[in-house]
Structure 1
């Protein structure tokens, strides 16, 4: 069952929709349908979701980066980026937003939009005493210190339509079976290590991390 909450600020209205565990294709189809149907007055939405195991390919992805799919479905999408994995124990938030409401030249704002999403992940990790960082030319967030320095802990991929409306979003590894990441070249990088928050020593329920990440995204993207 979907749960929806709504917040309104002078600069924006936002609905947060908790979709629970949902098949990726269902979410993907719904995101496109929502974006097709929205008008200038449609509130922006964050969709919080958890997926069964799935590999997803970006629009220009090289399918050879899927080394061995095993039993996991591979879905072609229209987001940017290469191949990634979604599965249980991962906080996924889809960002269905109209960038023109905060910046009239949406294409110029897209880079800042990505930067704010990455900052929200860094702030979320900091709330659990974990340190994350960006890497130039490699979207996402990586562990910045300790035994797992350099490992990827969060990925992002977006679709920005010509009218400035976005969908897809960000995923943060909370407590996962990380094995499927070894069956791909994550984000197109052979041998890229991936990690989750639990492996780094953070004990947090998925729902708590979902809430924390959504709050930081809201603070950065709607203020």
Structure 2
């Protein structure tokens, strides 16, 4: 599986990252390149998925970008690691199995790397800590023409004085948002990238169409444009 590591590019404008995602989607769909994990840290941006309700955006002056993923409104920005799996699923495509595979990869990575007791909450997307309920990783996915888009956003150390303000994150008004730092864990984007990439490769492999180019994994060492 190819890893397209954009972290050396710094804080990437959301629309630039989205352009790269959509170009990669076309290439993977057409089997021009191998299944790809795009790794990126965005500039501060609000995006609204297909299930966003008007009341989820409290500050109507916020610039919000509408996107075609599932879920409601959320924030992306510094201190948050975003990974987009752009992969071609074998037939018959099982969207639920794909979602569960991504969730399982994130849960295992967090538990094994940082020993946090995260879990999946039935009826709520993402990865959570409980009592009180607080989301540490948002997951919003899309499958089109057997190929996936969008992905996960793990909060490492965002500035909560600015991040997620003016919205009801993911449209959930009875739970909070947290980060590894808020839970007492200091880490880096690179450490989190390696932990998540390893688990995503493991959990997604059984669901994938045959490899398009070769069977080797491209390790995320440098950046690509």
- Is the shorter-chain TM-score for this pair beyond 0.5, marking a shared fold? yes
TM-score tier after normalising by the smaller chain length? 0.7 to 0.9
- What is the deviation of 1:63? 3.5
Q: 1:16 aligned to 2:7? A: no
- The equivalent position to 1:176 in structure 2, one of 158, 171, 184, is 158
SS at match of 1:217: helix
Matching residue of 1:11 = none
Q: Secondary structure at the match of 1:203?
A: coil
CA distance in 2, matches of 1:40, 1:131: 38
Aligned to 2:40: 49
Per-residue deviation, 1:205: 1.4
Structure having greater relative contact order (Cα 8 Å, sep ≥ 6): 2
Establish whether residue 115 from structure 1 lines up as the match of residue 105 from structure 2.
Answer: no
Shift of the alpha carbon at 1:140?
0.3
Aligned mates of 1:51, 1:76 — CA distance in 2:
16
RMSD of the alignment, in Å?
A: 1.7
Contact 2:58 2:167 in 1 (8 A): yes
Q: How far, CA to CA, are the matches of 1:25 and 1:73 in structure 2? A: 13
Match of 1:216, SS?
helix
User: Does the alignment pair 1:68 with 2:62?
Assistant: no
2:198, 2:63 → 1: CA distance? 31
Partner Cα distance (1:78, 1:221) in 2 = 22
DSSP-derived class of the 1:78 partner = coil
SS in 2 for 1:99: coil
1:8 counterpart residue number: none
Cα shift readout 1:91-139 (whole Å, capped 9, x = no counterpart): 1100101112xxx111xx1111111111111112112111101111111
Q: Residues 25-36 of structure 1: matches in 2 within 5 Å?
A: 25-36=15-26
Taking the aligned partners of 2:165 and 2:135, their CA distance within structure 1 comes to: 12
- Do 1:156 and 1:169's aligned partners in 2 also have CA atoms closer than 8 Å? yes
What is the TM-score with the length of structure 2 in the denominator? 0.83
Aligned to 2:124: 138
Q: 5+ unaligned residues in a row in structure 2: which ranges?
A: 207-225
Aligned residues: 200
Matched, 1:165 2:147: yes
TM-score, normalising length: structure 1? 0.84
CA distance in structure 2 between the partners assigned to 1:77 and 1:130 by the alignment: 31
Asked if the contact 1:96/1:166 (under 8 Å) is kept, the reply is: yes
Q: Distance in 1 between matches of 2:129 and 2:137?
A: 9
Does the 8 Å contact 2:21/2:38 carry over to 1?
A: no
